[in-house]
Every structure is written in structure tokens, then in C-alpha cells.
Structure 1
Amino acid sequence: MKSSKVSWIFRVIAAVILLQTLYFKFTGAQESIYIFTTLGIEPYGRFAAGIVELIASILILIPRTTLLGSLIGLGVMAGAIVSHLFVLGIVVQNDGGALFILAVITFLCCAILVWQNKNAIPNLLKLKF
């Protein structure tokens, strides 16, 4: 798919949200530590999530790899949303639900990007060496 302005808007929104949370994950912000401790995967889960989100955001911004990055982003955000709904709650440490809302926005942007690039899905299955 050709890169349209609308597609770039969704790419930038998803990538910026994913990238801005990295600071908190990698510096050990108290809220991040609380979240991943509550999930029982602190500190390794926090660092792994950060690395996966970094990779997803980079792939989303590269037109040729947008589909792959968006699929990774969908998976990560699905995990975040499920964690909020069943373990953490919508509001985490009086954030007013901001983290949950950002996860939903990122999930929706990634879903739209996957839909826009759905014709490239068969190409993901082809291995080229």
C-alpha cells in the first residue's frame, strides 16, 4: 500500500505512544515497577515489554515493515488491555485511566494499519534469503 497521509498519522500516533512509555520502563519509574510487580513479571517483563515496544515502533515507522510492526503492536497492546481489565484495573495509581486509554488508542491505530496493509499479509509468510 502506498503511504498516505492518513496512514502516516496512525503510524506516528502508535509509534509516539509506544516510544514515550519506554522512558518509564527503562528508568524504573515507580508506576512501571508497580504495574509489572502486580503482574508478577518485574523486572524482566518490564524490560522485555520495553524492547518489544521499541522494535514495534521502529517497524511501524518503516513503510516496508509497517504491517509486521503493527501486528507486534496489536499483540503487546492486547496484553496491556487484558492486564488492565483483569488484573490492574482501568485506573492505575490514580492515573485517571490514562494508561488504559493510551493502550486502546495504540491498539486501534495498529488495527487500522493492519487493515490498511492486509494485502501484504501473504508476503509475511514468504521467507527470502
Structure 2
Amino acid sequence: MTTSTPRSLTQHRMVWGFRILLALAFGAAGASKLAGVPQMVQLFDAVGFGQGFRYLTGAVEIMGALLVLVPATGFLGGLLLAATMVGGVATHLLLIGGNPFPAMVLGLLSAFVAWRLRPASPSSVGR
């Protein structure tokens, strides 16, 4: 029988905290896009890919927020949200200007969660 060390319990709680934070942030951002908040409509007008892209982005953000909360899909949710934020950073840097820092932070947190939840490699099973 193995016991959890305090460090691993702390790490487990930290990752869950980040997962909840990401779900709240992306859930709110996705909902604002799907609800047609005027600021989001203006932002996606500036991006230039049409309002359908706003709906797609909102749906992806909400899907990622849900996936990151489910233990079996947390890794995929983290990857999806990290990839979404790569697009968000690129959009700020290349298309609309503004501060890409919030998207960078959310992207790094999403990547960290995906890394911590990555599946075990087949060669490490049974060691």
C-alpha cells in the first residue's frame, strides 16, 4: 500500500485549483461570446473572421472548460484550452493589438494542467 506524501497532496490540490480557475475563466469567456456581449461582437469584428468564428470560439472555450473539470478528460481539456490561447495570443500580436498577457497566462496555466494530467507512457507502466 502506498500513502500520499504531503507534497503530492498539495500538488493534487494545486492542479485542481488551476482546473477550477480555468473552468471559471473559460466558461465565463465562452458564455460572453455565445451571448453576444457587445464587447465580444466588436472584438470579433476587429479580428475579421466573422461572427461565426465568435460562436465557434465560445463553444470551444465552454467545451474546454467542461473537459478540464472531468478527471477522465482533464488532459484533453487542458490541451484544447492551451491551443485556444495560442490562437488568442497570435490574434493580439498579429491582428488586433492590445495586451496578450492575459491570454499568455491562461495558456500557460492550461498547458501546465495538461502536462500534469498527461497519460502515463506505456513504457513507465509497471515500473
SS at match of 2:94: helix
1:93 is aligned to: none
- Select which of 66, 69, 79 maps to 2:74: 66
Query: 1:121 Cα shift?
Result: 6.8
2:50 is aligned to: 42
Relative contact order (alpha carbons < 8 A, sep ≥ 6): 1 or 2 greater? 1
Between structure 1 and structure 2, the one with the greater Rg is: 2
Amino acid aligned to 1:59: L
Residue ranges of structure 1 left out of the alignment (5+ in a row): 91-96, 124-129
> How many residues end up aligned between the 2 structures?
114
> Relative to structure 1, is the Cα distance of residues 41 and 63 closer, same or farther in structure 2, using a 3 angstrom cutoff?
same
Q: Deviations over 1:9-43 (max 9, x none)?
A: 11011111101112321221221111111111221
1:127 is aligned to: none
Amino acid aligned to 1:113: V
Q: Deviations over 1:38-68 (max 9, x none)?
A: 1112210000001111110000001111000
Residue ranges of structure 2 left out of the alignment (5+ in a row): 1-8, 123-127
Kindly indicate whether the alpha-carbon contact (under 8 Å) linking 1:73 and 1:110 is maintained by their aligned counterparts in 2. yes
> Relative to structure 1, is the Cα distance of residues 121 and 49 closer, same or farther in structure 2, using a 3 angstrom cutoff?
farther
| TM-score between both structures, scaled by the size of structure 1 | 0.78
Structure 1 consecutive aligned stretches of length 4 or more whose deviation exceeds 4 Å: none
Amino acid aligned to 1:13: L
SS at match of 1:4: helix
> Relative to structure 1, is the Cα distance of residues 13 and 102 closer, same or farther in structure 2, using a 3 angstrom cutoff?
farther
> Relative to structure 1, is the Cα distance of residues 122 and 88 closer, same or farther in structure 2, using a 3 angstrom cutoff?
farther
CA–CA separation in structure 2 for the residues paired with 1:50 and 1:87: 19
1:18-37 equivalent positions in 2, closer than 5 A: 18-37=26-45
Q: Deviations over 1:86-109 (max 9, x none)?
A: 11112xxxxxx4xx4432221111
CA–CA separation in structure 1 for the residues paired with 2:112 and 2:36: 31
